[in-house]
Homo-oligomer: A and B are copies of this chain.
Amino acid sequence: MVCVVEIYERPKLNNPVLVEGLPGIGFVANIVTLHLINELKATRFAEIRSSSFQDLAVTTETGGTRSPINELYYCKSNAGGRDLILWYGNTQALTTFGQYELCGRVLDIVQELGCQHVITLGGFKQDEVPPTPQVYATASDAETLNEALGLGAKIMVGNVFGVAGLTVGLARLRNLKAFSLLVDTLGTYPDANGARHVLSKLVRFLNLNVDLSRLDAAADETKNILQSFGIIRGIAEEKKKEEQPFRWFI
């Protein structure tokens, strides 16, 4: 199957911007996007599954199941401005092949909906982080970079791993505008503070009016989801896992 996309609705969108928010360093993108989905009451219009995701199901508190998935949401601007597409999920792909496939599919879908601007989010792992972490930017082109720098970001120096980096690279190839906003983070837990600083720049860029008071709740929800998928693990669990050659039978 590799990637299977199910599209529930093809919304008519006005010059939409894609915001990527998959789990990554510090889970910054994941928290920010979940918060936007909640606050803006975004509508889910597509689901993506991939055979490069984990092969498991996670239970919910009510006995239901959750699978590894990526989702696309949209929300229309109140003010007649640019609309938003939010790329949310509980996993990235496990292989580079799966990552390229996943990013390519998402870009196919959003380009069909008229999207020409992509923003990816992430954390920039540091050993120490000041109370007010710095936000960094890298972009597909000089003009787009200037837009990002105008928000108070510094120029990013380093690698942007995974979907956040790959999507900017692939977007540039397709002549889309793209930038990535990355924030100082310790990186080892869902970083609500880092998310807040990225989000404040993002809402300014997008002219969004979003209440930040419930951001900590989004960070907690993110933590719960990712713990249930075993993506955040204690050291003891990590150790145990290494002892299991075929994790599905012991």
Contacts and interface: CB of A to CB of B under 8 A. Distances in A.
A76 B101 CA distance: 37
Interface residues of A, number: 74
Contact of A248 (B1, B49, B92): B92
Interface in A190-231: 228-231
A248 B162 contact: yes
A1 B101 contact: yes
Given A1-B101, A139-B65, A238-B245, A250 B56 contact: no
A62 B62 CA distance: 50
A25 interface: yes
A75 interface: no
A172 interface: yes
Given A65-B168, A159-B230, A55 B247 contact: no
19 contacts: A1-B101, A23-B249, A24-B249, A49-B173, A52-B97, A54-B96, A55-B96, A55-B99, A57-B169, A59-B155, A59-B160, A63-B142, A63-B148, A65-B140, A94-B96, A159-B230, A161-B248, A187-B250, A231-B249
